[in-house]
Structure 1
Amino acid sequence: MKKIATLAGGCFWCMIKPYTAYDGVEKVVVGYCGGDKENPTYEEVVRGNTGHYESFQVYFDDEKITYRDILNIFWKNIDPFDDGGQFVDRGNQYRTAIFYSDDEQKIEAENSKKDLEEKYGKKVCTEIIKLENFYEAEDKHQNYHIKNEGHYNMYYKRSGRYNFVKSYWDRNNIDREKLKSRLTDIQFEVTQNDMTEVPFENEYNTNFEKGIYVDIVDGKPLFSSTDKFESGCGWPAFSRPIIDTNVMERVDYSLGMQRVEVRSLNANSHLGHVFEDGPEELGGMRYCINSASVRFVPFDEMDKEGYSDYKKYVK
C-alpha cells in the first residue's frame, strides 16, 4: 500500500539523500509543517516567525519498506537529543518532529521514541505531532543535493551533522569492549573504526560458493552469493544488498575524498563503499565490501543457522 511519512529533521536539504537508496521509497518532497500561515515561503519560514518546521514527506510502498524502517533511518541521521534545532541551524523551524497521519503511525512513532530513550537513557526531544498541513517548498529546494551538489556537500560536511552522525551513531550504540572481546582485531577495526582491509588478501574475495553473507556483529543477512561478481578490485563485490533496508548509505568525506559509505542499518557496522561502476547488466552498482565485516553462511547450512527465509534470495 502506498503511504506517506512526514518528518522534520532540521535543514530539509540534508534529509532527502538518506532515503534515496531504498527500494520502496518512491519520492521525497521537502516543505513546511506545523505553522499557521498558509503557503509560507522559504524566506518566511527560515526567519522562525511562522511556526513551521522545515519538513519532508517520504512516499513509500509499505510492502517493500515499513514505516518503522523509515523511522529507523530518520533517527540515525539527526540528533534527537537537541531541543533547540539541529547542529549549526538553530531555532524552532529546525527542531525535529514526527508528524503522524493516523493512530497507527502515532503508536509506531511513540514506541520508536520510547525504545530510543530506553536504549540511551536520555530524553528524546523529537516531538510527535498530529499532521494538520504540509506545504511543498519551492522547486529550487526539491532534490537540492542533486541540483546544487557542491553547496550541499560543503554544507552537510560543515554543518556539524556529518561529524555527529559519525561520532555518535557509529560509535556509541554498542558496548565496544564486549564486542572487541569476541571479534578478531581486523573485524573490530573494520566494523567499528571504519578501517579497510588489504585487497586480494582477505577471506571472501575469491569465494563464489552458494550462500549468504551476514553481518559479523549481529548476524543480519546483508548479501547473497547470487549477486556477487568478480570485479577485480580485490574485495568481495555485490550488485545489490539482499534486502535494501538491511543496509544504509552515507556520504563519506574521509581520506580527502567523497565516497558513499555502506553500513548495516541494524548493527551500524561499517561494511565498505558503493560505486556506480558495476556491470550494467546487473544494475550498474558495485558494493565493495570488506570480508572482515561479514560472515559467510553456506546454502546447505542456512536452515540449521536459522536463515531458511532467506534461501529464496539464493539461486
Structure 2
Amino acid sequence: MKRRRFIGGMSALGVLSMLPSGWLAARADGAHHDVAVNAGELERLSRSADAWRAVLSDDAWQVLFRERTEPSFSSPLDSEYGDGTYVCAACHLPLFSSGTKFDSRTGWPSFYEPLQGHVDTKLDFRLIWPRTEYHCIRCGGHQGHVFNDGPEPTGERWCNNGLALRFVRADEPLPDLRGRET
C-alpha cells in the first residue's frame, strides 16, 4: 500500500513538472509602484453607478456596475505579464501588483492576492451555489470572484474581469484617483 501511494505521488509530481512554470507560480520579480494610499482615499465614494457611464465604455460599465462577466479569453490583460500595477478601471485605485499575477488558464487575469484593504467581498448566489464576489473598496465596482484553487503562498485565485482593470507599467506614473464628486 505504501508503494502504491509513493508511485501515485511521484506520478503527480511528474505531471506538475510538465506544466508551464507560470501556471503554478506567480511572478515575484520586477519593480513596482509605491501604492500607498491614505485612509481617506479608501473611503467609499458616494457617486452613483450611472455617474460612472461618462468615463467608462458600455462594456466596462456593465461589468463594473451591473456585475456582468466578460467572455473568457477576451481580455488582453490575461496575457499581460509586464511589471506594474493593476488599477480599478473606474476610480483608478490600485488593486493588484503584477508580482501576484499568475496564469490560471481560465481566460481571465488572475492574482493570488489583492493589495491589502483595497477590495471588499460579499457572497454571491447567482449560480445557486455560493461564491465569493469582490469589489473595489472605493467605487464599489465589481471585479470578479475569489476561489480557493490558486498557487502558494495564499492558495487563492482572484479571478478578475479584464474590463474592470487598467494595467499601468512600472515605468509609468499611476493615474490620479478619480470619482470624488464635488
Whether the 8 Å CA contact 2:63–2:161 is kept in 1: the answer is: yes
**Matched residue, 1:294:** 165
Aligned counterpart in structure 2 of residue 275 of structure 1, from 120, 136, 147: 147
Extract unaligned runs of 5+ from structure 1: 1-65, 77-118, 120-172, 308-315
SS in structure 2 opposite 1:250?
Answer: strand
Amino acid in structure 2 at the alignment position of 1:271: Q
Aligned counterpart in structure 1 of residue 122 of structure 2, from 250, 265, 270: 250
Q: Label 1:184 to 1:250 Cα distance change in 2 as closer, same or farther (>3 A).
A: same
Provide the C-alpha distance between the structure 2 equivalents of 1:234 and 1:209, rounded to a whole number of angstroms.
17
Amino acid in structure 2 at the alignment position of 1:247: V
Q: Which structure: greater helix fraction?
A: 1
Whether the 8 Å CA contact 1:213–1:297 is kept in 2: the answer is: yes
Amino acid in structure 2 at the alignment position of 1:299: A
Aligned counterpart in structure 1 of residue 137 of structure 2, from 265, 268, 275: 265
Larger Rg: 1
Amino acid in structure 2 at the alignment position of 1:277: D
Provide the C-alpha distance between the structure 1 equivalents of 2:107 and 2:47, rounded to a whole number of angstroms.
29
Q: Label 1:306 to 1:192 Cα distance change in 2 as closer, same or farther (>3 A).
A: closer
- In the alignment of these two chains, the number of paired residues is 139
Whether the 8 Å CA contact 1:203–1:292 is kept in 2: the answer is: no
Shift of 1:68: 8.1
Shift of 1:67: 9.3
SS in structure 2 opposite 1:266?
Answer: coil
Measured on the aligned residues, the alpha-carbon RMSD in Å equals: 2.5
Shift of 1:306: 5.9
**Matched residue, 1:175:** 48
Whether the 8 Å CA contact 2:55–2:90 is kept in 1: the answer is: no
Q: Label 1:282 to 1:194 Cα distance change in 2 as closer, same or farther (>3 A).
A: same
Q: Which structure: greater strand fraction?
A: 1
Q: TM-score, normalised to structure 2's length?
A: 0.69
Aligned counterpart in structure 2 of residue 203 of structure 1, from 69, 72, 76: 76
**Matched residue, 2:30:** none
Extract unaligned runs of 5+ from structure 2: 1-37, 178-182
Provide the C-alpha distance between the structure 1 equivalents of 2:78 and 2:95, rounded to a whole number of angstroms.
16
SS in structure 2 opposite 1:277?
Answer: coil
State the structure with bigger RCO (CA 8 A, min sep 6), 1 or 2: 2
Which consecutive segments of 4 or more residues in structure 1 shift more than 2 A? 66-69, 173-178
SS in structure 1 opposite 2:78?
Answer: coil
